[in-house]
Amino acid sequence: MITGIAKTPSALIVGSRQIEIKDVHYLWGTDLQVAGKVLRRMFPGGGHRTILRIGPAGERQSPMACITADTYRHFGRLGGGAVMGSKKLKAIMIHGDSSFQLPEGGEYVKVFDKVYKDMTDTDMMSKYHNLGTPGNVRLMNDLKALPIRNLQATADPATEGITGEKFAEAALLRNAACAGCPVGCIHIGFVRERFQDENRYIYRQISYDHELIVTVGSMIGVMDCFEVLKLIDEAEKMGLDVMSPGVALAWATEALAKGIITEKETLVPLAFGNSASYIAAIRHLAYGTNEFYQLLSQGTEKAAAHYGGGDFACVLGQEMAGYATGETFFVSQALGLRHSHLDSGGYSYDQKPQGKNVEDAVKFLVQDEKARCLLNSMVSCLFARGVYTDEVLGNCLRSVCYDILADNIDTIATEIQRLRWKMRVRSGYQPENITIPKRFTEITTWKGPLDRQFLEALKTAYGQRIMDLAGIEKGA
Ligand code: SF4
């Protein structure tokens, strides 16, 4: 646990027999690319060393700031970067300078082989390896469930320019993987930049995913894969959780068009599809150039409360994720523990033909969240949830002698879920205080217009169930 605030901007170095705090004041204000280059030189040893760092957005304590792990992975949503910024902690270096002895017997190897085979020899993970999550863009568009131009639309033929297929065909350079993962679902594209008149170019490698393509693509009307990569690159350099600025700028664009704000606030002519303006706006957001961007970087909801335009702020607890699938997803992100699409699979429930049953939907959300609590606690990848069944997880635990855990998986998952909600409620969470803006109720998907009654009933019932989980009685 990291307590207190450093006197000067610092880096924390952690190894199995080492803890050190280093003054890195000269890195304060640098973007993630510059900070990464310097830190990698200071602390060589790729593969067994990981570097977590924040950019200008985290230093300014914006709730949109993420923590970037090495280059292509992030702790996103709900402002982890702001927490590091508040402690003047620019970076954390973790050295993997030790190893664990495997238990005697061949159980671990057997379990490892089975998991490895399921991951690589079956088609369970092929969708992640092939197109990756961007494969969802066309799927969502076909379902009329893709957030487009601040959720003014849910389908548009122009999205063909940013589908997973389009990225693969035009911009994909290579796949990469988290440490030790044989799947390699990280898709890395490239952008070229001319740096001299005499046809001199550099190219940069940028990872892309469904959520990023939606939020700095279709949500702001940018339908060209290379323009989307440039926007992702800019947001990454600023240390922003890419999803939040995209949605915030989509709101600002509509607010500007409606005359709620002017160019005096936005500084650039925000207009759907104008990627050059959005690149400039992302920098303004990270550095808090004027009062408007300072407020917007605190969250779209805050800016809308000040200027107006709350009805079309696409906020579900925080800026929305890339699924306009309907009632269950909107309720699950709005009320979810981290207000994240990863809290539970509301978007997949919406796509099942089960009708509108409040009790059934709440049951699904609670069960699905519980399964994810367990996987997250085991630092397992949520994409591999089809491979890591409870039985496989039990075998994994047994192979390293955690027999008690293995025999009580369900009880332990229930307890983790309960404790998380208890902590969340203690920190001031009140489901009845969370509103779902009008814009979400105005959409039409492949199922037809959104059912407002079902949405409200589900929100009330799920909120009550969450309070039950946290051990809070009705009316208390
Ligand atoms: S661990 Fe998960 S996110 Fe990382 S490369 Fe593997 S499948 Fe992708």
Separation in Å, CA 173 to CA 79, 126, 154, 341: 30, 18, 29, 27
For residue 182, the CA-to-ligand 1 centroid distance in Å is 8
The pTM assigned to this predicted structure is 0.95
For residue 178, the CA-to-ligand 1 centroid distance in Å is 5
Three-state DSSP state, 8: coil
Position in ligand 1 atom list of the atom nearest CA 184: 5
For residue 73, the CA-to-ligand 1 centroid distance in Å is 10
Residue ranges lining ligand 1, Cβ < 6 Å: 128, 177-178, 181, 183-186, 381, 383-384
Q: Closest Cα to atom 2, ligand 1: which residue?
A: 381
Q: Cα separation of 348 and 246, whole Å?
A: 23
List CB contacts of 337: < 8 A, sequence separation 6 or more: 343, 369, 420, 421, 424
Helices 225-237 + 32-42 axis angle, to 10:
60
Do 214 and 137 meet the contact criterion of CB atoms below 8 Å apart?
Answer: yes
Helices 300-307 + 243-257 axis angle, to 10:
20
Separation in Å, CA 433 to CA 156, 248, 335, 455: 34, 21, 10, 15
Ligand 1 pocket, mutate which of 75, 124, 383 (most atoms under 8 A from CB): 383
DSSP-derived secondary structure for 136-196 = HHHHHHHTT---BTTTTBS--GGGGGGSHHHHHHHTEEEEE-STT-SS--EEEEEEEEEEE
Tokens of 79: 């402002």
Position in ligand 1 atom list of the atom nearest CA 125: 7
Q: Closest Cα to atom 4, ligand 1: which residue?
A: 178
State residue 459's pLDDT score: 98
Position in ligand 1 atom list of the atom nearest CA 178: 4
Q: Cα separation of 235 and 279, whole Å?
A: 8
Ligand 1 pocket, mutate which of 73, 74, 120, 183 (most atoms under 8 A from CB): 183
List CB contacts of 386: < 8 A, sequence separation 6 or more: 124, 125
Count CB neighbours of 283 within 10 A.
18
**End-to-end CA separation in angstroms for the chain:** 32
Residue in the structure block whose two tokens are 């620019």? 90
The parts of the chain modelled with pLDDT lower than 70 are: 46-47, 473-476
Q: What are phi and psi of 417, to 5 degrees?
A: -60, -45
Nearest to 141 by CA among 121, 118, 158, 125: 158
- Give 414-435 pLDDT, tens digit per residue: 999 999 999 999 999 999 999 9
Three-state DSSP state, 422: helix
Q: Cα separation of 405 and 351, whole Å?
A: 34
Ligand 1 pocket, mutate which of 75, 185, 187, 382 (most atoms under 8 A from CB): 185
Separation in Å, CA 350 to CA 30, 367, 432, 450: 42, 15, 22, 11
State residue 46's pLDDT score: 64
For residue 380, the CA-to-ligand 1 centroid distance in Å is 9
Do 183 and 383 meet the contact criterion of CB atoms below 8 Å apart?
Answer: yes
List CB contacts of 336: < 8 A, sequence separation 6 or more: 317, 343, 344, 369
Burial class of 74 by CB neighbour count within 10 A (0 to 12, 13 to 18, 19+)? buried
Separation in Å, CA 33 to CA 27, 204, 282: 11, 11, 16
> CA angle 368-371-373, nearest 5°?
110
Do 64 and 296 meet the contact criterion of CB atoms below 8 Å apart?
Answer: no
Q: Cα separation of 81 and 240, whole Å?
A: 8
State residue 474's pLDDT score: 63
For residue 115, the CA-to-ligand 1 centroid distance in Å is 14
Ligand 1 pocket, mutate which of 73, 124, 128, 210 (most atoms under 8 A from CB): 128
